[in-house]
Structure 1
Amino acid sequence: MTIGVTVAADEKTVDREELRTNLRRADAGVLVAVLAQLTGDPGVADRYAGKISFTPDPPEQVGATDPETHEGLVDDVIAALEGPRPPGALPFDDPGMFARVAPLALGTAVGDEYVGLLLEQGGFHPSQPVLPRTAKLPQGFKVVIVGAGIAGMAAALECAAAGIDYEIIDRNDEVGGTWYTAVYPGIGVDTPSAYYSLSRDINGDWTSYYPQGAEYQRYLESVADKNALRDHIRFNTEVEALWWDEKRTMWEVRTVAADGTREVSYANVVVPAAGYLNRPRWPELAGRETFGGVSIHSAEWDPALSLRGKKVAIIGAGCTAVQIVDACVDEVEHLTVFQRQPHWVAPRKRLTDDVPDHRRWLNAHVPFYANWIRLKSFWGTADNNYPVIVRDPEWAAEHLSISPANDVLLQMCLEYIDRVFGAGSELAKKVTPDFAPYGKRIIRDPGGYYAALARDHVDVEASEPARVNERGIVTQDGRQIDLDVIIYATGYHLDFLSTVDIRGRDGLELREVWGDSPSAYRGGLVPGFPNMFISSAPNYSPGHGAGHNFGVEVMVHYVMECLQLMALRGAATLEVKPEAFDEYVRQIDDVMAQTVWCHTPTAHTYYRSGGGRIVTAFPFRLIEVWQSHRAPVEGDLELR
């Protein structure tokens, strides 16, 4: 027997018994929320309150109840799916109702301040406009977006939704940015896949809780396909310069195509969305060019390169090195890991990262199930995790960790080290950092990294190489290691647009303004650079939870509000006032001073600029970032 399930204008027909079988394995808390949505009855939450308990299953709190109650819940959901939709049912857009059912779905209390944020991040409704949409931008107004990664695509989608003409310019021949260009073995997403998507385009069919890069790239390509983004993209084109033209009150966009053709075009607004980790960093290592084998940087991987049966060295111990080691350890004849500095490595919590079939089925066939699973993943790694990065002076005075919350993570990582390598062993000492967790980006073990380091054919050198010669690498203590391949997993230059010639009013150069300590106001605004919103701006990355997509969506919402402010005021330009800029940066630095990144001086991290300032992460709670970007503070801005 089949039943009809209607979601919006789409009708899906599924087998009743297949539905029941999968609902029996569903998260009970999520089912309550779905039932409330299907029926439009918030009292559902009251009926099931106290009957559902929650079991940690990082990053989520999985809801469960006794079999009889769960079976009744399944019956109610099936009945709701078969029956007509009452007024007030789908879509879920009632903040009061949401606040009643969210705690049962998410497994913890939800403060009132988070309701608007969670409705957006769950994809229950798009980002809500704040300023009145009573005025339009002038005819011919155009936005140019630099980069077709997730940030550029998010900006494009919001422009399209607002009816604003836009163009994306990208140096590659496909969308995806990093996920298109990075193809090294084992490359994967280290943000939970259930959350790591755009809230306006949730993917419920991930095969892995932490998918490989190719699967995530396919997701981004699907977003481009569904929204016809390629019709607005100039591929194989590098943006060489952005120069402000005062007479036109527009940006002059200078580009060079792959065939060498140069072109000049103009835009009212530019959104640099190219990211700040694009240019591979090769170490200054004596003799590097003399090696007779294969030298390759992880960012420039050749898919044709085989490591099978080879003697391989990898330099680095960050996320990239961890993924490569995990992926290739069974192929190589011998592997030497040059660990320049150990990282804290968190164990994989599940036996497998494969998403079970029943969850993928529920995501595909039960209305809003995928939305709640996404929201649980976000909530589990959001502000509940904030205490991990905030320093408790009394605690830090006597511990390596900076707070009790930080110490929980430290003890978990130490236990993992002891379990794999043996407490007090030489290898355990080599891989144990001397700074608090989160002092540099924490790494999730894909499942076999630590185990790989303990293999007989793997050696760990707890230092950088002394030099390279034709045969291989010479260690700090003078040993010769003969090699076939040297892999440089040594990261990227922290560029922050330094490779693009950006000139604002009166020829002001952005690279000179920033020097080695870049900073920005809300929306990536910098004084003297009107109508420029830098997507991957300094201090715009979540450092304690969520993912890059959160910062991207917050940023893009703010940009749309700024453009609407321009329309309302009939302004041709918008830029931040210097005094507002200085005050905002001061606030960032004041709060940052209390975080782990300012109290782990031994941690070598790309978070810190050459001048010592933390320039990538923001130090605030996610809710504070979200609230502060709801609408522009007009007094902070100069509109002309």
Structure 2
Amino acid sequence: MAEDNVIARGGAESARAPEFDAVIVGAGFGGMGAAIELKRQGVTNIAIVEREDDLGGTWHVNHYPGLAVDIASVTYSYSFEPNPYWSRLFAPGAELKRYAEHVADKYDLRRHMTFGEQVARAEWDETNSMWRVFSEDGTERTARFLLTATGFLSQPRTPDIPGIKTFAGKVIHTTAWEDGHDFTGERVAVIGTGATAVQLIPEIAKRAAALTVYQRTAIWVVPKVDFAIPRAVQKLFARVPATQKAARLVNTAMLELLMVTGVLHYKQFKLGNKGAERLAKAHLRNQIADEELRAKLTPNYDFGCKRPTFSNEYFATFTKPNVHLETSSIVKVDPDGLLTADGEKTEIDTLVLATGFDLWDTNFPAFEIRGRDGKDLGKWWRAERFQAYEGITVPKFPNFLTLNSPYSYSGLSYFTTIEGQMRHIARLLGEFKRRGAVTFEVTDDANTRFLDDVTRRLESSVFYRGDCSTSRSYYFNHAGEATLLRPRSTPGTLREMATFPLSDYEFTR
């Protein structure tokens, strides 16, 4: 086997060769993008380990009614692998799943994938200059490079409400949806009003006899300009790819206006932020005449503190006679219903948990990772601030690329983040090969400069200049720092990821 081979280094010293060139943890779009770039760089002996039973990440795990992209499909896809046949501007989730399968097949990624295996921990082997990756089933892999692509929204949050385990009816979390469950005639409760709930609630309301929505924090919702893409346009995109590229550029520019100016440059463009807020309020006003209900659905934090979403049905759903919005907090769950702080009890048949994901407790990182001298990445992040150079590498963690990490998420489309990281990988591994290196590692100075720069830039954002105190946003970690987003424009991010100083890394031979 490959791991029985011996390579000579430093004359007298010998070391075992790793089994793989690279282990990638996660087979979603991030992991597949990384694998594509590794193969472009000649790194072909790859293992992609996925805990789910198929590829696609969130688009495999999630399949609840109403699931769709909340970024136009021409932008929410790889720029180098456009799909001219999206059925709608905001494609339904099933099409994203098929797109992921297409990418895996076209770029020959399936043969590298192992499904149904949960990685438990990874350790840097200093003697052999390689990573040891251990799974919960006892499997061990060794690799020259380790890449984590476990996603930002991959660890579901289940609310710790007293009595929830005693509920006698059906409990469904949106990430473990039961296909075929029929809500017709049921009394249903939905806990949560985030982006998932905005898509799901209108669908349940169409069938349920009674639907109670429990809202802790209202969400900013703007109109969704969605429509079926005519077959003639699809054929045009396929025949003249430049037309779809132009559509992508237009949509990206619109997202930049919303995200970069209105959110990240709040200090300089506060009027733009308030304009988006006024649009959302007008949308709410057009759909709901009742002032009391409208007040409950109006956020009391600035636009952009939480990720805004798009919908034409969400607000209107609350005007239906079978739908009730509950803003009193849940005290406990009984076997037959939910009791709120105002003393009201609502009897239900099915409880739906649209309670989102846990980023900061269990997702950074998603499993134990130890670098040089046994340094624990999760403990270091929590003790010394969340940080990663260019949102992808960490000092004292050689040959390690963390694809879902602090300050890595760029813009509103995840594919901006992915393609920026692919550029970084290309430049880094190009230099790695040129030098005939055995390891790469970002320097402490480079990491500190990057952390200081993003911290300074974020001071202008809505997170620090606006009022986000009541938002309960996953953008903020437990220390109150907004350490998820990279405070740069999309062009700026892509440029920096492809041109970072090579001197920011140390290479050993």
TM-score (norm 2): 0.91
CA apart distance, 1:385: 5.0
Moved over 6 A (4+): 138-141
1:239–1:253 Cα contact (<8 Å) kept: yes
Which stretch has the larger CA shift, 319-328 or 166-175?
166-175
Q: Does 1:577 align with 2:451?
A: no
Alignment of 1:362-511 (within 5 A): 362-382=236-256, 385-390=259-264, 403-422=270-289, 425-445=291-311, 447-494=312-359, 495-511=362-378
* 1:240 corresponds to 2:120: yes
Measure the CA separation in 2 of the matches of 1:310 and 1:451: 20
Aligned to 2:421: 555
2:106 counterpart residue number: 226
Query: Residue deviations 1:241-268, cap 9 Å, x none?
Result: 1110011101112124xxx4x2222111
Give, in angstroms, the shift of residue 211 of structure 1.
Answer: 1.4
Distance in 1 (CA, whole Å) between partners of 2:84 and 2:249 is 12
Distance 1:255 1:318 in 2: 33
Correspondence for 2:169 among 289, 293, 300? 293
Matched AA of 1:328: I
Whether contact under 8 Å (1:206, 1:360) holds in the other structure is yes
Aligned equivalents of 2:429, 2:363: Cα separation in 1: 23
Do residues 198 (structure 1) and 65 (structure 2) align?
A: no
Contact 2:19 2:141 in 1 (8 A): no
Aligned to 1:149: 28
| Structure 1 residues 237 and 139: alpha-carbon distance in aligned structure 2, compared to 1, 3 A threshold | closer
- The secondary structure found in structure 2 opposite 1:542 is coil
1:524 is matched with 392
Partners of 1:612 and 1:384 in 2: CA distance: 23
Query: Alignment length, in residue pairs?
Result: 486
In structure 1, the residue matched to 2:59 is 179
| Letter of the 1:480 counterpart | K
d(CA) in 1 for partners of 2:483 and 2:259?
A: 21
Paired residue for 1:631?
A: 499
Higher relative contact order (CA 8 A, sep 6+): 2
> CA contact under 8 A between 2:211 and 2:322: conserved in structure 1?
yes
**How much is the aligned-residue C-alpha RMSD, in angstroms?**
1.9
Question: Which residue is equivalent to 1:7?
Answer: none
Kindly state the Cα deviation for residue 591 of structure 1 after the two structures are TM-superposed: 1.0
Q: 1:505 to 1:225 in 2, by over 3 A?
A: same
Percent of residue pairs bearing the same amino acid type: 31
Q: Encode CA deviations 1:347-374: one digit per residue, 9 max, x unaligned.
A: 1235xx3212221121123353222222
**Selected match of 1:538 from 389, 403, 406:** 406
- Residues 14-36 of structure 1: CA deviation (Å, up to 9, x unaligned): xxxxxxxxxxxxxxxxxxxxxxx
Equivalent in the alignment of 1:514: 381
Counterparts of 1:313 and 1:203, CA distance in 2: 37
State the shift of 1:518 in Å: 2.1
**Gaps in structure 1 of 5+ consecutive residues:** 1-137, 396-401
Change (3 A) 1:476 1:403: same
What is the deviation of 1:221?
A: 0.4
- Residue 383 of structure 1: how far off its partner (Å): 5.2
CA distance in 1, matches of 2:429, 2:286: 55
In 2, Cα distance between the equivalents of 1:526 and 1:616? 15
Describe the SS at the equivalent of 1:407: helix
SS class of match (1:496): coil
Measure the CA separation in 2 of the matches of 1:568 and 1:366. 38
Aligned pair partner of 2:140 in 234, 258, 264: 264
Change (3 A) 1:530 1:383: farther
Q: Deviations over 1:360-416 (max 9, x none)?
A: 1211233532222223222332357522114565x9xxxxxx711011111111111
- For 1:113, the equivalent position in structure 2 comes to none
Letter in 2 for 1:283: P
Q: Hey, what's the Cα distance between the residues in 2 that align with 1:314 and 1:275? A: 25
Distance 1:245 1:512 in 2: 19
Corresponding residue of 1:85: none
Aligned partner letter, 1:356: P
**Structure 1 residue 418 displacement after superposition:** 1.2
Structure 2 residue aligned with 1:132: none
**1 CA distance for matches of 2:389 and 2:489?**
17
Provide the rounded CA distance (Å) in 1 between the counterparts of 2:19 and 2:352.
49
Counterpart of 2:469 in structure 1: which amino acid?
P
- The letter of the residue matching 2:286 is R
